[in-house]
Every structure is written in C-alpha cells, then in structure tokens.
Structure 1
C-alpha cells in the first residue's frame, strides 16, 4: 500500500509540474504579444500631443501675463521662472512615484490628467471675464489682476507643472521598455526609436511655435489656449487606446530610496569595523537582483 501511495504521489507531482510548465509557456506567449513596435504609434502620438500642448501654452505665456493680466514685466517673468523651476524639479518626485509603487503607465496617466485639468482651468480663466482684469489697449495705467485672479493663475500653472513632472521621466523609458533589447537585431536598430522620438518632438514644437502662437496673437487667447488643451486631451485618448498592447513592467524600487538607505546606514554604522571577509557583510539578493546585471551587487574597496 505504501508503494502504491508513493507512486500515486509521484504521478500527482508530475501532473502538477506539467500544469505549471504549461502555465509558464502560456505566460511567455502572452508576454511576447505585449510591447513591440506596434505600441510606438500610441506612445509617440501621446508625446507629440503633449509636447505640442506644453510648447503651445508656455511659449507665449509672458505675453498673456503682461497684456491680459496686466502684470508688470518683472513680476510676470518671476512667476514663469518659479513655475519653470517647479516643473523641472517635479520629475524627481514623478520618477520616485513611478519606480517605487505606481509604475510608469499609471504615473503617465495620472500626470496627463493633472496636466489636462491645469490646461482646462487656464483656458476657462482666459475666456471668462471675471478671471482677468478689463482689457487695456493702451497698456498704460492698466488695472492689474486681483489677488484672486493671480491665485487662479498660480493653481493652473501648478497643476501643469505637477502633471509635467509625472510625464517627463516616464515616457522615454516606457517606450524603451516596449522593445526587447535582448534580441541583437532589435538592439542594432534601437537608435530608430530615439530618432523618431526626438524628430516627432521637434516637429510638434515647431508646429506649436508657429500655429498656436499666431492664433494667440491674432485670434485670441481663448482659442490660443483651447487648442493646446484639445491636443492634451487627444494625447490621453491615444495613450489609453494602446493600453492593451503595452508591456508594463512592475515597479522594482527607486534607486533614490536605496541611496538614502545607504547614506543612513553609513552614518549609523560609521564606527563599525569592516570585516576582512566580504562574505560577512550584509546582502539582500532579492533587492539586488532588480538593479544589478549579475543578480547581486559586488563589494568594492574603491569608495572607502
């Protein structure tokens, strides 16, 4: 009886192994279907519309602040400089959110929605008279924007800065993740992705600087801001349409967090004696595997 039970148990184990192998094969096939060159039109369309919207509303904003809100030139320049700095600093937090828990797809989507809300608010504030002072054609002794009107502007610009901070650090890496760089033929052609990417960005910027700025100066700021807002909405739609095709890599932790942990550990253990045998040092292979080529970080005396 014991012999038969062992045989039955062995048969069950073999069947389970076969089932598990079949599941792995199915998973690999599904993963192969995801990503690839077919995702590029959606990702590039998203980034083209985003760059068109960003350049379109931002390039001529100094004119909007001085001629529509009647702000002094120095105050207008300082306002744009402050929010430019915020937009350039925000990607640090956007990358941290993406790498640590949200993932690139979710971060791009959240950033795009926040950015769109900022553009919608800015367009509404340009169209409705109560959100800007009366027109002043002479540009002399004009009534400046009230405190409420300036705060509405600040909120709009803050939303666009935060949204841009979530989009910028993720789009290029997300596009690169769709291509399997382990294939030599694809790796040899990887430059095509970045060529097309930066060519598309350049064309979108050129179109915005000519078309949108012309409309803002000659037609009005209502349409001049509405067109970038519509372009940003189209970028969200394009990105969502391609979502079933994307290869989404799970967050593996941020190097900024690991760097902070190293600094804290180094300060706390600064008086400890380093053992002669590196094998006695702390290792976490599970964490190291995600950020190293050989599944572990090698110890070095270089930075002592």
Structure 2
C-alpha cells in the first residue's frame, strides 16, 4: 500500500515523522511547497500534485490532517475523483461527526473506504505516541489497524466500527477537556489573586503533577508554561473555542442530557473574546436605576 499524508502542519508533519521513524515509506503533500525544507528523511517523498494518486499501482491509504470544515470536505471531494475502488481515507480532522457520516456515504458509493479518527495527545502525541478513536464500517484492513496501533501509546487505540463514531467521541473528549481546563484555570486564578499566602504557581503545579488525584496531561502542560514564565506574560486573556464543545452542547440539548460544566466553560471562552461586554453595562444600569448604585 502507498501511504500519503495530506496536510503537513504541526500535527500532520509530526505524524509523518513518527511513520518514517517506524520504517514506513510514505508520501507527503501540503499546499505550502516550502514545507519540504522542514523535514528530510529517506522514507519520505514530497509530492506537489495529488493527481499522482490516480496513477498509483498500489492501494492508496490517505491520512488527512487538515482543518475541519471546508478544507477537509473539499479535499475529500477531490480525492473522490482520484482514488480507486478499495482505496482508504483516514480522516484525522476534528470534523463534526455529521459531516463525517456524509463523507463516508459519499465515498462508499465509489467503494472507497472512509474512516473518521479522533486524534488526541497534541503535537507530542502525534510525534511520539497518540490516543486514537477510530470510526467507520466494520470491515477494516488488519494492516491499517496495525499501523494505527503502532502510532499510539499502549492501549491508546480503539476501533468503534460505526461511521462518525470516532469524531463523535473526539467531540465529547474535547468538551470534557474544556471543563477540565476551566477548573484548573479557576483554581490557579484563586491562588494568584488571594493575599493570605505567597504561592509560586510553578511549584504548586509541579506538586499537583506528582501523585495527586488531579494529576493530568493538562496539569503538566500548565506547569511547563509556568516554568518558562511564572506570569504567563506572552498569553492574552482571550481564549478561542475551536468548535467541538459547541457541537457537544448542541448534541446534549438534542438528547436532553445536562452538560452544565462544558456549557459554562464554553461561555467563559466566548466571554473572553468580548472587549467590553454590553451585558455588564446593562447590569450596571439596572443597579443604578433601582438602587442608585454607581460603579467606580
């Protein structure tokens, strides 16, 4: 089989590096041709035209590592005109699971196998061993399972055998991540603001990263940043949301399942993007009107 990694950003190039380190001979493609200057390996060839996939003598296995939405969907549309029957697409984007089902259905009509794969672990995971949750039909080539398992930490791979299930799991996974990040942020906010004790937050997060109940990769992440700069001065107070938590909250509303922690963590991020919230002016105006309260 011929493995082609499409999308050589931070995640895609890291996954390509892990593949080549493990002895796989692969192709890489990115809209930025200069990406070939960033990594040279005897097992990796850069291609400048995806139409070469149509001429492949072996089965194509395409790993897609593109942004969710139009970049992924448009690439799948293009691949549908290039790939052969029995070729395979593994979509590692954080796509909305309903889009993934549509992509599965479209490629199935051409007998091209589409699998949606939630990929967790960040850049380090893609490079050194990730967590993957794979969705798709129940007829997966054992060789593909072997390759994907080899790219994961021990017990970090699972195959769920239903179209869209991998990206549905990644949606919920990322919603949980929002809530956990918010809880850590609020705890550190209190430690930063209180006046009773003098805490070095780098030391605190190091302490909590070793043996505590709240030990986690996220705690390790913030400890690493605090070690570099205890004031986190390079980071703004704006926090963007990439979409998965919004989809999760929407799905929870459809299913009538309460997810208040995830919903509030999403609202907190949305609020951080507003320079001056009109709602605060409304609150201040009401306080003044009924009680004569002035804000100073």
Same-fold status (TM-score > 0.5): no
Q: Larger Rg: 1 or 2?
A: 1
TM-score, normalised on structure 1?
0.24
Structure with higher strand content: 2
Structure with higher helix content: 1
